[in-house]
Amino acid sequence: MSAAADPSTLHEEQIARAIETAIAEDIGPGDVTCEFFVDARQQGDGRIVAREAGVVAGSRVAAAVFARVDPELRVEIERPDGAFLASGDAVLTVKGAVRSILTAERVALNFLQRLSGIATLTRRFVDLTADTRAVILDTRKTTPGLRALEKGAVLAGGGVNHRFGLYDMAMVKDNHLAARGDLEFLQRAITRLREERPGVKVELEADTLEQVRGFLGLEGVDVILLDNMSTHDMAEAVGLGGGKVKFEASGGVNLETVAAIAGTGVDFISVGALTHSARALDYSLELKQHHP
């Protein structure tokens, strides 16, 4: 992928590939159980129902799974992405051949439970920082091949996407700085990036207040990442910035610490746990069969 590509197109392509891969993985050459144990003429109505409270994500993806397995199935989304669910609420309904409904069931549920889990966890972080300026960001710590879907789930939960990949933002972290991180070199690199890729933002990672002071003397820096700093040092860094740049907090962020971190005045808080540690939301399919 190149920086010149249309990100929205890339994301739609990734979602389509993810659905195709999941269907091929689960169904393979065919659903042998339905082939031998379910009458091909049998029709039914299905409802995917939440078994616990949470935030929906993946409703369109689940609907697309049913349509891909059998275009004649009639699918209706009852709760769109971002909607809050109570236990017992239906997310979508599907009508048509029972064989097709049962064949698509697990893949649809897998997407829904994973993505809704991310959205639900994201909403908890967002709610805990609601009275501050801080925006909750995701990271690149995503399931390989599912980044577009998982970042979409973060949006459904009220969070904001950080960079999508290595191509859409320059993020100079400690290992990049270890290679060569003197301020003169950094300024030359930032200036060249601004000339050649004017739309690409620049973020520098700081581990200490001394680094923050040095980075604040550079031209062209958009964001300074405060990595694993104490809340005291974060607040001091924000004061040093004087509104010149944005600040992002990272490291040690969880549901117990996020409110205090947000209280330091940082603009962003990145949370890897949104996508790498979210618990799946519990869903099930309720099926009523119409006998031939």
Catalytic residue numbers? Answer: 106, 141, 173, 205, 227
Sign of torsion over alpha carbons 201, 119, 114, 227: positive
Tell me 204's DSSP state: E
96: left (phi over 0), alpha (psi -120 to 50) or beta: left
**Which tokens belong to 168?**
């859409």
Q: Could you give the CA distance from residue 36 to residue 41 in angstroms, rounded to a whole number?
A: 13
Q: Could you give the CA distance from residue 272 to residue 253 in angstroms, rounded to a whole number?
A: 8
| Phi, psi dihedral angles at 85 (to 5 degrees) | -110, 140
Q: Could you give the CA distance from residue 91 to residue 84 in angstroms, rounded to a whole number?
A: 10
Tell me 129's DSSP state: T
